[in-house]
Amino acid sequence: MANKKIGIVIGSDSDLITMKEAVQILREFEVDCDVHVISAHRSPEIVHTFAVEAEKKYEVVIAAAGGAAHLAGVIASLTPIPVIGVPIQTSGLGGLDSLLSTVQMPAGIPVATLGIGKSGAVNAALLAVQIISTSEPKLRQKFVQYKKKLADEVVKKDKAVQAELGSL
């Protein structure tokens, strides 16, 4: 998958804490990725260039932003490749603002939106993996393994809970 790359962009460097979760997942799947801080509002020309050139470099773009979170939508307007949005949790409204700004796109320009915060970041990476997997059977297989591992972990946690409750 060396030539299939994911472009991750964050609207602020403070969003990196959340999006490291996505980077880690992609590394786990050995899917290459770039992470860039670009702001739809503070560095619009850089975002414009990024978006227009995204198709040449990336299979999928993941964009994370908070508040009036326009980053994913702006990129989606300028590229034909799939754009995934991660709404960052905010202190005032808990991320409801980020979520609605990301997901409520007008007909014509989809942003594939995941949940608020770290769960959303993990899932953005997994969705990118799923998308690439539609034409990469080996990656699909890895993803199937990943799902099995998730189920196994639940079983392990169940055993730990039995132990904990038994000893109460």
**What is the rounded distance in angstroms from the CA atom of residue 121 to the CA atom of residue 85?**
9
Least distance to a second copy, CB of residue 1, Å: 12
**What is the rounded distance in angstroms from the CA atom of residue 156 to the CA atom of residue 47?**
44
Contact assessment for residue 6 and residue 27, using Cβ atoms and an 8 Å cutoff: no
Least distance to a second copy, CB of residue 152, Å: 9
Residues 6+ apart with CB under 8 A from 51: 61, 74, 75, 77, 78, 79
**What is the rounded distance in angstroms from the CA atom of residue 79 to the CA atom of residue 69?**
18
Q: What is the 3-class SS of 93-134, one letter each residue?
A: CCCHHHHHHHHCCCCCCCCEECCCCHHHHHHHHHHHHHHHHC
Least distance to a second copy, CB of residue 51, Å: 8
Least distance to a second copy, CB of residue 2, Å: 16
